[in-house]
Amino acid sequence: MAQQFGLGRRKFLVYGSAALGTSLLIKGCAPATETGGGGQTPAAGGDTIKVGILHSLSGTMAISEKSVVDATQLAIEQINQAGGVLGKQIEPILEDGASDWPTFAEKATKLIDQDKVVAVFGCWTSASRKAVLPVFEAKNHMLWYPVQYEGQECSKNIFYTGAAPNQQIEPAVDWLLQNKGKKFFLVGSDYVFPRTANTIIKAQLAAKGGETVGEDYLPLGNTEVTPIITRIRNALPDGGVIFNTLNGDSNVAFFKQLQGAGLTPDKYPTMSVSIAEEEVQAIGVEYLKGHYAAWNYFMTVDTPENKAFVEAFKAKYGQNRVTNDPMEAAYIAVNLWKQAVEQAGTADDLEKVRQAAIGQTFNAPEGPVKMFPNHHISKTVRIGEVGDDGLFKIVYSTPQPVDPLPWNQFVAETKGFACDWTRTDVDNPGKFKAAGA
């Protein structure tokens, strides 16, 4: 029948590629929808303080970022109910970055120039943060970034409330070396975060007597993991540690097929750095039971602050919702900003707010945190094991919060460098050779 319809292979290839090309074009050009929810109306008489929330509400990252928006809005609502900041209500303006990095930069510009917000809370992927960074630096504005990341960055205009590598990846590697074995296989998605993270891990293993027996990267969205499993089995015939920096759908395929291949957590424990409570539900508890994840916050953290946080969150969004680390970091960000504004006595003078932010402390759900002069916060590091209920059983936590180090001390290029925005005696406070190093 193909012949009668005049459709041959070549035409098929031509049409097929034309369609694929068009689809890419349209995806790239599509205007992001604004999901303002009433936040777009300008404030009457300036009796509110406007802040921006910039996350992906559509596209591939919406799954993760939507819940961070929920946590940010919860924090703002709580502050407003308690009387606001400097006697004014906070008015959040929500923008959709649509999982598209140029859109993030565009929306950041819009929030700053058009809406005149005094701070922006948002971004998730490193790619989106790198896209908005020049905007915030050029306009000397302020971004609060809530997700653990690969480090190797220190901007005057960004406050990082997620973990730097020395607050998540490095302690996780140390714990594995002490408890689970010396031989590591590194699996990651093929983009910036896993590759940078694995560079750090390899340098750390070399320094501490571990061994990297292999590494492999899956293209984002690829779900055929049979070849990787063979590589792991060949590199680690008698068991060993798998360090997993996969993102998104590939995780589901990886864990489902790992079990079938007989690589069980007793011999092949995996440590993940981007699987939290929400992802466990989507992958299936059956496949993850007994595996590990490293974060600063788990829903099961036993502090009075966390009980209140989880209760307030469930009351607002539903009893079946779960909280996770980036959500908690977003909650911290809003509260730290509020304290900085109150100490500065102004929300509009960003320079004063920036100076006041440094040194702020807050009793967060994860425990006490403090903003350091390098614009990162100290955080407690925890390792959790997935239990029957899909929540994490905390098997290790650092006795004290760990101080943040944005420049990695295992990688040769950044070893000995520090960041301190209170220093005036060095040329570049963002990256200078620390004394004694």
Partner 1 sequence: MTFLFESVFNGMSIGAVLLLTALGLAIVFGIMGVINLAHGELMMLGAYTTFVVQNGFRQLGEGWFDAYLFIAVPLAFAVAAGIGVLLERGVIRYLYGRPLETLLATWGVSLILQQLVRSISWQMTLQIILFCLLFFGGRWLLSKRAIAPPWQAWVTPVLLVLSVGIGLTAGLLVGGAVGLAMTKPWFGAQGVDVTAPSWLRGGVNLWGVQFPFVRLFIIALTAVCLVAIYLFLLRSQWGLRIRAVTQNRSMSACLGIPTQTVDALTFALGSGLAGVAGCAISLLGSVSPNTGQNYIVEAFMVVVVGGVGKIVGSIVAALGIGYVNYVIGSGLMTRFLEPQTALFAFFEFFASTSMARVMVFILIIAFLQLRPAGLFPQKGRTVDA
Question: Residues interacting with partner 1, by CB under 8 A?
Answer: 1-13, 15-16, 19, 23, 60, 62-63, 66, 190, 216-219, 221-228, 230-231, 233-234, 249, 252-253, 256-257, 259-262, 278, 281-287, 318
User: Least distance (Å) from partner 1 to the CB of residue 32?
Assistant: 16
How many angstroms separate the CA atoms of 81 and 73, rounded? 12
Q: What share of the chain is helix, strand, coil (3-state, %, to 5)?
A: 40, 20, 40
Nearer to partner 1, 10 or 302 (CB): 10
Q: How far is the CB of 265 from partner 1 (least distance, A)?
A: 13
CA distance from start to end of the chain: 75
DSSP, collapsed to helix, strand or coil, labels residue 235 as helix
Taking CA 307 as the corner, what is the angle to CA 145 and CA 69, rounded to the nearest 5 degrees? 30
Q: How many CB atoms lie within 10 A of CB 224?
A: 10
Contact 55, 68 (CB under 8 A): yes
Q: How far apart are CA 175 and CA 106, in angstroms?
A: 42
Residues 296, 366: Cα–Cα separation, whole Å: 7
Q: Which is nearer to partner 1, 191 or 396 (CB)?
A: 191
Q: Which is nearer to partner 1, 34 or 190 (CB)?
A: 190
Spatial separation of the C-alpha atoms in residues 346 and 357, rounded to whole Å: 12
Torsion on CA atoms 23, 29, 30, 31, rounded to nearest 10: 180
**Closest CB to partner 1 among residues 15, 434:** 15
Q: Which is nearer to partner 1, 12 or 361 (CB)?
A: 12
| 3-state per-residue secondary structure call for 311-322 | HHHHHHHCCCCC
Residue number, 7 or 437, with CB nearest to partner 1: 7
Nearer of residues 267 and 415 to partner 1, judged by Cβ = 267
Residues contacting residue 95 through CB under 8 Å, at least 6 positions apart: 34, 52, 53, 54, 107, 110, 111, 122
Choose between 9 and 45: whose C-beta lies nearer to partner 1: 9
How far apart (Å, rounded) are the C-alpha atoms in residues 187 and 254?
Answer: 10
